[in-house]
Amino acid sequence: MTLSALIITARKHLGEGQMESSARFCLADAITLRDAGDYEHARQRALRSLDYSVGIFHPDYKKAAR
C-alpha cells in the first residue's frame, strides 16, 4: 500500500476506536512527516494511527502492514 493510500485509510477509520485522540495525533504527524519528505517515518506514524483506530487484526491494518 502506498503512503498516500495508507494515510487515506487511516483518515477513513478515525472515530472508530477508543483511542481516537492518539489516532488523530499520529495521523497529523504522518502528514507533517510526509510533507517534510520523511516517508519512512510518515508510514510508521500512519500505521500507528490505524493501529489506534482499528487494531492490528483488522483487514485494513494487515493490508497496510505488508
Q: Note the pLDDT tens digit of each residue in 12-26.
A: 999 887 899 999 999
Q: List b or e across 13-23, with b for residues whose CB sees 16 or more CB atoms inside 10 angstroms.
A: beeebeeeeeb
Mean pLDDT calculated for residue range 25-53: 97
**pTM for this predicted structure:** 0.91
Q: What is the pLDDT of residue 17?
A: 74
Within 8 A by CB and 6+ apart from 63, the residues are: 1
Domain boundaries of the chain, sorted by first residue: 3-65
Give dist(CA 57, CA 22) in Å, integer: 18
What DSSP character marks residue 14?
Answer: T
